[in-house]
């Protein structure tokens, strides 16, 4: 009898989790949340309390910022920003793609502003 109650409770919890996930997913499944990558280069970092604010410049000359808690980003790091488009673009993930010692030469070679 005790095992039956445990199985019923576990099934009920599983169903609640599945239903809550199903309610949270329709916006993404309908394609309302568009994700796109944006290549950029770290042009500055600033320590604020125990975090670092990282500034990146993209092809169009726009500067994007994100927070880092480890201080691993440095001037010249090439990053790929995974952007989520809602009302405005928002960085949701950052990937390291490489490093350049001469940022201005990188911009010139890539044809960036």
pLDDT in the model for residue 85: 81
Count of domains observed in the chain? 2
Instruction: Kindly state whether residues 67 and 42 are assigned to the same domain.
Output: yes
Instruction: Show the domain range for 14.
Output: 1-32
- Is pLDDT above 80 for 27? no
| 59-96 per-position pLDDT tens digit | 999 999 999 999 899 999 999 999 998 778 899 999 99
pTM over 0.75: no
Q: Tokens 């042009």 label which residue?
A: 43
Which CATH number belongs to the domain containing residue 67 in this structure? 2.40.50.140
Instruction: Kindly state whether residues 19 and 38 are assigned to the same domain.
Output: no
């Amino acid at each position: 009898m005790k095992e039956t109650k445990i199985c019923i409770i576990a099934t009920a919890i599983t169903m609640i989790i599945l239903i809550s996930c199903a309610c949270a997913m329709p916006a993404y499944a309908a394609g309302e949340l568009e994700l796109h990558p944006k290549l950029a280069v770290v042009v500055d970092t600033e320590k604020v309390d125990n975090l670092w604010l990282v500034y990146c410049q993209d092809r169009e000359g726009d500067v994007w910022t994100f927070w880092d808690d480890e201080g691993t980003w440095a001037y010249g790091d090439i990053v790929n920003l995974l952007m989520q488009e809602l009302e405005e673009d928002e960085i949701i993930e950052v990937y390291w793609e490489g490093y350049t010692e001469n940022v201005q030469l990188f911009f010139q070679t890539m044809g960036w502003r």
